[in-house]
Structure 1
Amino acid sequence: MTPKKELVARILEELRRQLAKMEHAAREAHAAASDPGSKAESKYDTRSLEASYLAAGQAQQVADLAAAVTLLASFEARDFDLDDEIDAGALVAVSGDEEGAWYLLAPAAGGLAIPDDGLEITVLTPASRLYQNLIGKTLGDEVEEGFVTELR
């Protein structure tokens, strides 16, 4: 399995890729909203209003992604011993009735799934119920999704 430092770097790379795409989309939406061709032709024509809402929403997504990049860039995921309690930065395997799953507890990029050596590692943030459920647990403890079977 890839060391956590490299895993965080790959997550950052993906976030930066998403940010670049979102910045491009936000610029296009802003241009469409301010284009004279999108002016209302009647009182029922809402193209300009809709374009401005889209531009505002995309601008907010750009700001959120930029904040996530900044937060993750300063994040250092420490190594954990098998008897440590789970905390931010932990790479955790949870196995239940079905296949097991790997999670990285991080401050941003929640829900992002990164492939790694045939596994998929999902990023969890403090807003996630599973993140909150895992904090303080140790190897072998039960969580809603199964049991903590590995900790790195």
Structure 2
Amino acid sequence: MKKIVVIEALRMALEKKLYEAQEAANSARQDAIHEQSAAETQYDSLSIESGYLAEGQSERVEQAHRAINAFESVFKAEVSGSVIEGALIKLSDEEDDHFWYFIGPVEGGLKIMILETQVLVLTLQSPLGLALKGKMLGDDVEFDFNGSKRIFYIDKII
């Protein structure tokens, strides 16, 4: 797995989220100012609801911009030999299943596919991220997953 490929795929995924948020915000704004949204009675709240929706969608746009900026600084970070933000790591478990994670500042749970391999964004604030934080190549990591203990081995840190 090449880290530059993962970074470019993450950039594209973040840009897609921004685009979708912008489209939703624009649509909500248009709905809010459309003549059919005007209140006909004092109990008609369609225009107010549309305004709230537009405000919420605009907040999604701001969050997407903040995420892109946060990732850009992480993409430039030099990765040492430990699990820190910006690291691309490969874990394996007792059954020799392999898992790829990109340690990001935000957007935990974002999934990208590189060929047929899934890479999941993981933040250091998540339960697994906390267990991995600061670990080194070759370390074992114990993690409580839904009441059962799992042990992962750190195969790669890129």
Q: Which TM-score bucket, shorter chain as reference?
A: 0.7 to 0.9
Are the aligned partners of 1:94 and 1:147 in contact in 2 as well (CA < 8 Å)? yes
Q: How does 1:1-152 map to 2 (within 5 A)?
A: 1=1, 3-75=2-74, 76-80=76-80, 84-96=81-93, 99-138=97-136, 139-144=138-143, 145-152=150-157
1:59 Cα deviation from its structure 2 partner: 0.4
Gapped regions of structure 1 (runs ≥ 5): none
Closer/same/farther in 2, CA of residues 24 and 129 from structure 1, 3 Å limit = same
CA distance in 2, matches of 1:127, 1:49: 36
Are the aligned partners of 1:94 and 1:150 in contact in 2 as well (CA < 8 Å)? yes
1:100 Cα deviation from its structure 2 partner: 3.2
Closer/same/farther in 2, CA of residues 77 and 113 from structure 1, 3 Å limit = farther
CA distance in 2, matches of 1:77, 1:9: 15
CA RMSD in angstroms, aligned pairs only = 2.0
Are the aligned partners of 2:94 and 2:152 in contact in 1 as well (CA < 8 Å)? no
CA distance in 2, matches of 1:88, 1:148: 18
Secondary structure class of the residue paired with 2:16: helix
Give me the TM-score of the superposition, normalised by structure 2: 0.81
- Name the % identity: 31
Closer/same/farther in 2, CA of residues 126 and 57 from structure 1, 3 Å limit = farther
Secondary structure class of the residue paired with 1:74: helix
Gapped regions of structure 2 (runs ≥ 5): 144-149
Note the alpha carbon deviations across 1:54-105, whole angstroms, 9 max, x for none.
111110000000111122223225355xxx3322222222333563321110
Is the deviation greater in 124-133 or in 48-57? 124-133
Which one has the bigger strand percentage?
2
Are the aligned partners of 2:101 and 2:122 in contact in 1 as well (CA < 8 Å)? yes
Q: What letter matches 1:6 in structure 2?
A: V
Q: What letter matches 1:38 in structure 2?
A: S
1:43 Cα deviation from its structure 2 partner: 3.0
CA distance in 2, matches of 1:119, 1:23: 29
Secondary structure class of the residue paired with 2:48: helix
